[in-house]
Amino acid sequence: MHILHKILVHLPSDVPLVEEQSREDYLKRIRRYAEEETDEFFGTVFDGRETDSAGGWSKEYPENVLLGSENGKRLLRELQKAQEDQAREIRLYMEQVIEDFGNRLALVVSEIQKGFTACPAKASQAAFSLKRMAKLLDGEYFYDSCFYNTVEGNAKITDFTIAEVRRKPEDWALVFFDYHF
């Protein structure tokens, strides 16, 4: 299964522009930095990936590096979309748990611990949903988070991060990788 991941890079601190460097070489350096910063997640977040292009998303992202200096509004929209996607995932998991067990966390945990004898599959699904929600809320980088912030070293997209990008978009780039797991 393939999924698009967005890697946020702060350019001045991580990949500063070098005088006389071509745009193409600069994009390669940014791409390489994003690749190196996520290499350690091989085997846990991906088992293969396309990093020289956006892979299956190449029509939407013909260049897999989006510079805020060239299109700050689009970079901000992409970042906000990633934040909204994560929030939607959290909501869906929460709705499933509430539908099965109600809105009382203590009851949900108790039923999961007991194995919810009336329906063990529901207990298993609730545990899975809670685990996914916790990962997203905590900012753990995993296959379904679809985002990684190289500055923070996590997958959490906070309002603070969005405000920083909005304040100075030219300092940021998003790199799009096609992940497989």
pLDDT in tens, 124-137: 888 888 899 999 99
Q: Under a CB-based contact definition with an 8 Å cutoff, are residues 177 and 37 in contact?
A: no
| Residue 178 CB contacts under 8 Å (≥ 6 apart), including other chains | 2, 3, 4, 5, 49, 50, 53, 54, 55, 56, 57
Per-residue tokens: 25: 């070489």
pLDDT band at 122 (very low <50, low <70, confident <90, very high): confident
Phi and psi torsions of 20, nearest 5°:
65, 10
- Per residue in 91-114, pLDDT (tens digit) is 998 888 888 777 877 777 777 777
Residue type, 177: F
Q: How many CB atoms lie within 10 A of CB 178?
A: 22
Q: How many CB atoms lie within 10 A of CB 157?
A: 28
Per-residue tokens: 98: 């509430």
Looking at residue 51, what DSSP letter applies?
-
Given this model, what pLDDT does residue 117 score?
62
Helices 159-167 and 68-101: crossing angle in degrees, nearest 10, is 170
Mean pLDDT of the chain: 93
Given this model, what pLDDT does residue 97 score?
81
Tell me whether residue 75 is exposed, middle or buried, using C-beta atoms within 10 angstroms of its C-beta: 0 to 12, 13 to 18, 19 or more.
buried
Compute CA distances 27 → 34, 47, 155, whole Å. 11, 24, 22
